[in-house]
A = this chain, B = another copy of it.
Amino acid sequence: MCSLPVPREPLRRVAVTGGTHGNEMCGVHLVRHWLQAPGELQRPSFSAMPVLANPAATAACRRYMDRDLNRTFTLTFLNSTATPDDPYEVTRARELNELLGPKGTDQAFDFILDLHNTTANTGVCLVSEGSHNTLNLHLCHYLQLQNPGLPCRLLQYDPPGMETYSLESVSKNGIGLEMGPQPQGVLRADLFSRMRTLVASILDFIELYNQGMAFPAFEIDIYRNLGKVDFPRTSDGDLAGTVHPQLQDHDFEPLKPGEPIFKLFSGEDVLYEGNSTVYPVFINEAAYYEKHVAFLKSERIRVSVPALPELTSSSTLAP
């Protein structure tokens, strides 16, 4: 397998961002809490900075005000000349790029952990942009070992175009943490507590990495996005049906050709017509209706991840 180069420097400048989507409440309330009580984000070699990414959308309890912030961190948006008519999220993306970037430069933060919720039954899902980023794969493996009862999957999601656009793409390394199911605008104590524990584990992993720990090679199943599937629609573009009960809530489970994916309002079933088994993810996520996404298809692939050797002593922050 190919794998991107692993950073060979400690990760000193780390941010934990929430409220990138203003109605995904675990990240919103964790970040608000940490802004008052940042102790949980401190480790011997670094202190992660909490950032409320989209304050206006958070105040309005909406995903975004003018456009999806988490699709706005392209160099085109970040480097264009500001005008008074810019959408709120374009202005905010530039501010975050100043704070955490600039994207693609040596001055950028070392790591952004961006916190999300979904209405889909994903459980814990790490979303990793770089193809086979070895650091993220080691991080996922570490979380699996630390939380043996908790399914923790990694979805490799490369943007359809050539350019990355997510908030974490601003930093040198980064990952999105998705947890579901949780309705928009609702804060469930079970998910809040689980996300808090996972963030602590992720900071522990970074600390171990910074302290020079070597991580051995391993094999892992990951899920690679293959593309979106839209809802069935009428000629007017309205929904003609919705996700089939046999598919609803079955994120990351195999979907075989011939199995039902939609139930039409007329009562008929729509069957999956692909040639091979896929693994649907983000099934019936509320925010994706407007993006014409009923679910993402993914393939499950086995990946051999090389060891992460210890940092050389000159670069570690060991006492």
A selection of 22 A-B contacts at a CB cut-off of 8 Å is A29-B239, A29-B265, A32-B238, A33-B265, A61-B290, A62-B62, A182-B183, A183-B184, A184-B185, A184-B286, A185-B286, A185-B289, A186-B284, A186-B286, A187-B239, A187-B243, A187-B284, A188-B284, A189-B244, A190-B245, A190-B248, A192-B265
Residues of A within 8 A of B (CB): 29, 32-33, 61-62, 119, 181-190, 192-193, 238-239, 241-245, 248, 263, 265, 284-287, 289-290
CA A284 to CA B190, docked complex, whole Å? 13
* Docked CA distance A187–B262 (Å): 12
CA distance A284 to B119 in the complex (A): 15
This chain's copy number in the assembly: 2
Q: Give the chain B neighbours of A184 by CB distance below 8 A.
A: 183-185, 286
Q: Which of B186, B245, B287, B289 contacts A119 (CB 8 A)?
A: B186
Bound form: Cα–Cα A119–B61 in Å: 15
Chain B CB count within 10 A is highest, among A186, A192, A245, A284, for A186
Contact B287 A187 (CB under 8 A): no
| Contact between chains at B192 and A242 (CB < 8 Å) | yes
Q: Taking the nearest CB of chain B, how far is it from the CB of A41, in angstroms?
A: 14
Tell me the minimal C-beta distance from A301 to chain B in angstroms: 29
In angstroms, how far is the closest chain B Cβ from the Cβ of A116? 14
Chain B: which residue is nearest A34 at the CB level? B265
Are A119 and B183 also in contact (CB < 8 A) when A61-B289, A265-B33 are? yes
Beyond A33-B265, A61-B290, A186-B285, 10 extra complex contacts between A and B, CB < 8 Å: A29-B265, A61-B289, A119-B186, A184-B184, A184-B286, A186-B284, A187-B243, A188-B243, A190-B248, A192-B242
